[in-house]
A and B are shown apart, each in its own frame.
Chain A
Amino acid sequence: MLLEIKNLHVEAEGKEIVKGVSLTIKDGEQHVLMGPNGSGKTTLAKAIMGHPQLKITEGDILLDGESIKELKPNERAKRGIFLEFQNPTEIEGLGMMNFLNTARGAVGRTQSFKEFMGEVKETSERLKIKEDLMGRSLNHGFSGGEKKKTEILQMAILQPKIAILDEPDSGLDVDAVKVVAENVSAIQKKTDAGLLLITHYSRILNYMEPRFLHIMHDGRIVREGGKELIEDIEKNGYQFG
């Protein structure tokens, strides 16, 4: 699957946040998007997913050559796009398993319920998610790390073709970062999904092999390169004009 973002301009509450971003993500590719706070990374991620309060004023988002910018979020998810949320919503009263089961049905995963349960159990173990979390309400009362891990669990269950991970490493301890990174890579390898990883820290990249690194500033991608950019950023900062 091919995701093409072409000269995308996005407004939130009348203010332009994303100011002409272009990006292409192919099957199996790992892309990393970095940049200072407020540079528009999360807005870009939400716009790709179709957040109803964001307005695309110019440009387009193409999936396998077809524009998806008019599609609702659920329609984009059904076509294989997944967004890991920086701050996942808590919904007390909605059971984790009920939610996961509903979501996997919605995106068309047709494995039997028994297979689904097995997949959840196996992935939870790999992610070191406490067993009792699956019996609780969606993200309700979860720690920051638990939320991040259950987002990756959702990615594993929904098996997207394009996964956008918005800071999956923030708030995680060293061990958890490794667990999350290794699981993301494993899921990606299994599904051959294209990946856009948004992060502030290079630590997670020690466990991944991104070929493409993009630096965003003030709504635009201002630098691009390979993993070698990380060392430069670590040493010299973002160095904006």
Chain B
Amino acid sequence: MSYADFVNEATQYYQSLPYEGNDLYKKYSVSIPLPEKYGTGPDGIDSFVDLISEKTRIKFDAVITDSSAKSLNGMIRIVKAEETDDRVRESKIFRSVESKLAAYVNGHAQYFVLIEMPKGSKEKFDILFANSGSLSVQIIVTLQEGSGLRLSEIYASNSREGSTVSVMHEISAGRSAEVELNALHNENEKTSVLNLCKANAVDGARINANYIYCGGSATKAVGILDSHGHSSRIDVTEFAYGSVSQNFDLNTIILNSTPYSIADLNSGVVLDDASKCMLKGFAKVSEMAKGANSRITERGILLSKDAHIDALPDMAIDYSNEVKATHSAATSPIDEDALFYLTSRGIDEEKARKLFVTAFIAKYISRIDDPVIKEIAMSVMLDKLDTKAFGIISDITPRNIWMGGSNKR
């Protein structure tokens, strides 16, 4: 089974919400293998988990692998697929009609991770996802009124054969709740990634989602994030750094469904070698969304003549007055004037290029509020910039770029 099996169907789900049925999006699409069965890969995952824990110096609240799942925090409930009841299975807000990919992950998930934040509670959790075989997880996060959650996830793989990591987030932020989701994907070259997200923020709620992709041979991401309540706010940052022949297909849809809602999508890409990326940001402002603010910004830097970015920002505005809606896209090699400026200060060209790219990356990574995951993400990026390597992290150790001190929690 492959992604093409889905997209070749004639069904158009939404004319105004381009999805896998949309002809243009089908043209600019990355196929990834979708296994029928998920399960344990080769041995060695435990030592790999230990290595990641040691390097990141994070005491993870939960560790989920293709062979086991363990929660060390009572607020993170992990249910194995065979133990799910209808309540868990049907708690999803990511309806299958919106995406057969969502239905696929829901049907194949090995584990369901359930996090429910009680009214007024505040927590931060770190979860490690590691795989040697294929891994599929559905994560359901529910925040009650006034609660707050910082959820940081690190994905790493030591797959020796082709494997797929498929993960689906479903986030529901109640009135005035705040959630920050940080996902750092650094799988190895034997791994493909399918990352789905559906998020919903009601009155006064805020969702800040940050996706960092630098691993995996092929990555396909689909997200629908809905600023669904009065004065609710959605901020999405997606950043991909590709080298060798990595492919990324990032399709994020932001919705302004209600008055004075804010939805902001920031996409950034740096590509080297023969890597490719498709940025398919889409914004929809509903007719109910008076005073809404919607923005898509897509930016890319090409470090090689063989690298390629397709940026397709798009919008549908049903309420044409009293809304702010902007979209823009720009991709280019490193700016020659910027290089001249830096080199005129004595900095050699190679270092100037690195400074420029590092600055571009930092612009996106700095949107992460979690100081530890921010340090790790930037350290991984700098390592990749130095070595072009991706996958098993040669230097995931935080370099204290921003913090200037210990990162131990």
The answer on A and B forming one complex is yes
Q: Is B349's CB within 8 Å of the partner chain A?
A: yes
- Pick the residue among A53, A82, A89, A93 that contacts B363 (CB under 8 A): A93
Mask, A4-16, CB within 8 Å of B = 1, is 0000000000000
Whether the Cβ atoms of A94 and B345 lie closer than 8 Å is no
Whether the Cβ atoms of B356 and A94 lie closer than 8 Å is yes
Whether the Cβ atoms of B363 and A78 lie closer than 8 Å is no
Interface residues of A in 135-194 (CB under 8 A from B): 137-138, 154, 158
Whether the Cβ atoms of B343 and A77 lie closer than 8 Å is yes
Q: Is A106's CB within 8 Å of the partner chain B?
A: yes
How near does chain A come to B326, taking the closest CB pair, in angstroms? 18
Contacts of B340 in A (CB 8 A): 46, 49, 51-52, 73
Q: Known: A72-B349, A102-B355, A106-B348. Is A93-B362 also a contact (CB below 8 A)?
A: yes
Q: Interface size for chain B: under 10, 10 to 19, 20 to 34, or 35 or more residues?
A: 20 to 34
Contacts of B341 in A (CB 8 A): 85, 88-89, 91
Q: Is A2's CB within 8 Å of the partner chain B?
A: no
Q: Known: A53-B336, A89-B337, A89-B338. Is A78-B356 also a contact (CB below 8 A)?
A: no
| C-alpha gap A46/B337 in the complex (Å) | 11
Whether the Cβ atoms of B335 and A94 lie closer than 8 Å is no
Q: Is A39's CB within 8 Å of the partner chain B?
A: no
Q: Known: A94-B355, A106-B348. Is A89-B343 also a contact (CB below 8 A)?
A: no
Whether the Cβ atoms of B344 and A73 lie closer than 8 Å is yes
| C-alpha gap A137/B351 in the complex (Å) | 17
- Pick the residue among B343, B356, B361 that contacts A73 (CB under 8 A): B343
Interface residues of A in 62-77 (CB under 8 A from B): 72-74, 76-77
Q: Is A83's CB within 8 Å of the partner chain B?
A: yes
Interface residues of B in 340-375 (CB under 8 A from A): 340-349, 351-352, 355-356, 358-363, 366
- Pick the residue among B336, B344, B349, B359 that contacts A91 (CB under 8 A): B359
Whether the Cβ atoms of A94 and B359 lie closer than 8 Å is yes
Contacts of A83 in B (CB 8 A): 344
Q: Known: A73-B344, A74-B348, A106-B345. Is A93-B336 also a contact (CB below 8 A)?
A: no
| C-alpha gap A105/B359 in the complex (Å) | 19
Whether the Cβ atoms of A93 and B345 lie closer than 8 Å is no
Interface residues of A in 114-133 (CB under 8 A from B): none
Q: Is A205's CB within 8 Å of the partner chain B?
A: no
Whether the Cβ atoms of A158 and B356 lie closer than 8 Å is no
How near does chain A come to B36, taking the closest CB pair, in angstroms? 43
Contacts of B346 in A (CB 8 A): 74, 77-78, 103, 106-108, 158
Contacts of A76 in B (CB 8 A): 344
Q: Is A92's CB within 8 Å of the partner chain B?
A: yes
How near does chain A come to B349, taking the closest CB pair, in angstroms? 7
How near does chain A come to B403, taking the closest CB pair, in angstroms? 14
Whether the Cβ atoms of B345 and A107 lie closer than 8 Å is yes
- Pick the residue among B337, B343, B361 that contacts A93 (CB under 8 A): B361
Number of A-B contacts (CB under 8 A): 82
Contacts of A88 in B (CB 8 A): 341
Mask, B100-124, CB within 8 Å of A = 1, is 0000000000000000000000000
How near does chain A come to B225, taking the closest CB pair, in angstroms? 24
| C-alpha gap A78/B348 in the complex (Å) | 10
Q: Which residue of A lies closest to B337 (CB)?
A: A89
Contacts of A91 in B (CB 8 A): 338, 341-342, 355-356, 359
| C-alpha gap A192/B344 in the complex (Å) | 20
| C-alpha gap A51/B336 in the complex (Å) | 10
How near does chain A come to B303, taking the closest CB pair, in angstroms? 16
Contacts of B344 in A (CB 8 A): 49-50, 73-74, 76-77, 82-83, 85
How near does chain B come to A167, taking the closest CB pair, in angstroms? 16
Contacts of A138 in B (CB 8 A): 359
| C-alpha gap A106/B338 in the complex (Å) | 17
How near does chain A come to B200, taking the closest CB pair, in angstroms? 31
How near does chain A come to B367, taking the closest CB pair, in angstroms? 11
| C-alpha gap A80/B342 in the complex (Å) | 15
Q: Known: A89-B337, A91-B338, A93-B366. Is A72-B343 also a contact (CB below 8 A)?
A: yes
Contacts of B345 in A (CB 8 A): 74, 77, 99, 102-103, 106-107, 154, 158
| C-alpha gap A232/B335 in the complex (Å) | 42
Q: Known: A73-B343, A73-B344. Is A93-B349 also a contact (CB below 8 A)?
A: no
Contacts of A137 in B (CB 8 A): 359
Whether the Cβ atoms of B348 and A92 lie closer than 8 Å is no
Q: Which residue of B lies closest to A138 (CB)?
A: B359
How near does chain A come to B278, taking the closest CB pair, in angstroms? 24
Whether the Cβ atoms of B347 and A92 lie closer than 8 Å is no
Q: Known: A51-B340, A83-B344. Is A74-B359 also a contact (CB below 8 A)?
A: no
| C-alpha gap A110/B356 in the complex (Å) | 24
How near does chain A come to B69, taking the closest CB pair, in angstroms? 37
Whether the Cβ atoms of A93 and B359 lie closer than 8 Å is yes
Contacts of B362 in A (CB 8 A): 93-94
Interface residues of B in 240-272 (CB under 8 A from A): none
User: CB within 8 Å of B: which residues of A?
Assistant: 46, 49-53, 72-74, 76-78, 82-83, 85, 88-89, 91-94, 99, 102-103, 106-108, 137-138, 154, 158
List 8 A-B pairs, minimum CB-CB distance, nearest first.
A93-B359, A106-B346, A94-B359, A77-B346, A107-B346, A93-B363, A103-B345, A93-B362
23 CB contacts below 8 A, A to B, read A49-B344, A50-B344, A52-B340, A72-B348, A73-B343, A73-B344, A74-B345, A77-B344, A82-B344, A85-B341, A88-B341, A89-B335, A91-B356, A92-B360, A93-B359, A93-B361, A93-B363, A94-B358, A99-B342, A99-B345, A102-B351, A106-B351, A158-B346
User: CB within 8 Å of A: which residues of B?
Assistant: 335-338, 340-349, 351-352, 355-356, 358-363, 366
Contacts A77-B343, A94-B358 supplied; 8 other A-B pairs, CB < 8 Å: A49-B340, A49-B344, A72-B348, A77-B344, A93-B363, A94-B356, A99-B345, A108-B346
